[in-house]
Amino acid sequence: MIKVSIAGASGYGGGELLRLLLFHPEIEIHQVTSESQAGKPVGRAHPNLRRVTDLKFSAMADLEPCDVLCLCLPHGEAMKRWDAFSGLGGRIIDLSADFRLRNAADYPTWYGHEHAHPEMLDRFVYGLAELYRDEIRDAEHVACTGCLAATAILSLAPLVRAGAVDPSRLYMEGKIGSSAAGNRADRSTHHPDRSGAVRSFKPTGHRHTAEIVQELTFGGQAPQVHFSATAIELVRGILMTTHAFVNDGLSEREIWSIYREAYGREPFIRIIKERQGVFRYPDPKFLSGTNFCDVGFERDEHSDRVVVMGALDNLVKGAAGQAVQALNIMYGWDERTGLEFPGLHPV
């Protein structure tokens, strides 16, 4: 059994990772930490895990060496404590933004601070298996992606990589649930204000833009990404709608072919574009708790626009499930291990 510890396990991302790993047949949870809940049973923070495990939270200072250390801490903490963490885990998977960007100069621009360990940035592999499977296999360090970024990148990468769309005109609108904001309450998450909201919280300047640009850069050509984010009435889930413009009059069937080529064998990407029925395009409602990212599209017959829809659960494929998928690849296990849950319907 591989011993995994989770630092920052009382948050939503850490709790979701714990939920998944408790049922992983190759994993033994060694320690889970929380500064605010140290000494308390994990069920106190995660009621879904009551009587599933008798684990208690430890303090971060009590972390012991393990095979894999997963960091689920607020942005900035992993880089700040890197010297302590790097000696504890043979392999480290970070779920924060601290090691996602390859260019250290992007951190002051998008996160408002210098990077504490810029020398580590090129030692982390970006955590999307669909783009970096071979690199993850040999990696010691993996940086899981932003949830909105994952949705945007998985939706668009096949078209941009194939040169099928104009990379200077990518217009993205991300609709996202409240759990993405984490478990610390503030004025914007107060129930009377958050419930029922359809709130444009980042019409421009969302920090995941940096990742999207980084990962949709193919052949040295950085795309122009015009990204807006809207908070909607969901707890979990993202729907990313992108308006792109095809080159050379690309047909809908040719777009089908590009997506099928990219994702036809991927275990967690489904091309959802059906002519019949109610559920014709990706909808995050049915992806809660799953590691799927559903991608669909429609070619506008009246212009050169293609509308691409991507959906996933921000806490699973957008965070913890992505980490488990990477872990499975790192150890040569079936990528689907521990991630088989197909979701609920109706829900």
Partner 1 sequence: MGTCPECGAAVNVDDDVVEGEILECEECGAELEVISVSPLELELAPEEEEDWGE
Taking the complex as a whole, the smallest distance from the CB of residue 264 to partner 1 amounts, in Å, to 10
Q: Directed axis angle between helix 147-161 and helix 252-263, to 10°?
A: 120
Q: Quick one: how many helices (H) and strands (E) in the chain?
A: 10, 14
72 is catalytic: no
Q: Are 95 and 320 in contact (CB under 8 A)?
A: yes
Least distance to partner 1 from the beta carbon of 253, Å?
Answer: 5
β-partners of residue 175 are 230, 239
Q: Of the residues 70, 72, 147, 293, which is catalytic?
A: 147
* Min CB(236)–partner 1 separation in Å: 25
Nearer Cβ to partner 1, position 208 or 273? 273
Q: Which of 191/253 has CB closer to partner 1?
A: 253
Question: Which residues form the interface with partner 1 (CB under 8 A)?
Answer: 252-253, 256-257, 260, 271, 273-277, 280
> Which residue number, 117 or 285, has a Cβ lying nearer to partner 1?
285
Under 8 Å between Cβ of 33 and 9:
yes
Of 28 and 300, which CB lies nearer to partner 1 in the complex structure? Answer: 300
Measured distance CA(327)–CA(133) in Å, rounded:
11
Rounded Cα distance between 185 and 233, Å, is 16
- Per-position b or e across 251-271, b if 16+ CB within 10 A of its CB: eeeebebbbeebbeebbbbbb
* Nearest distance from C-beta of residue 308 to partner 1, angstroms: 15
Catalytic residues: 147
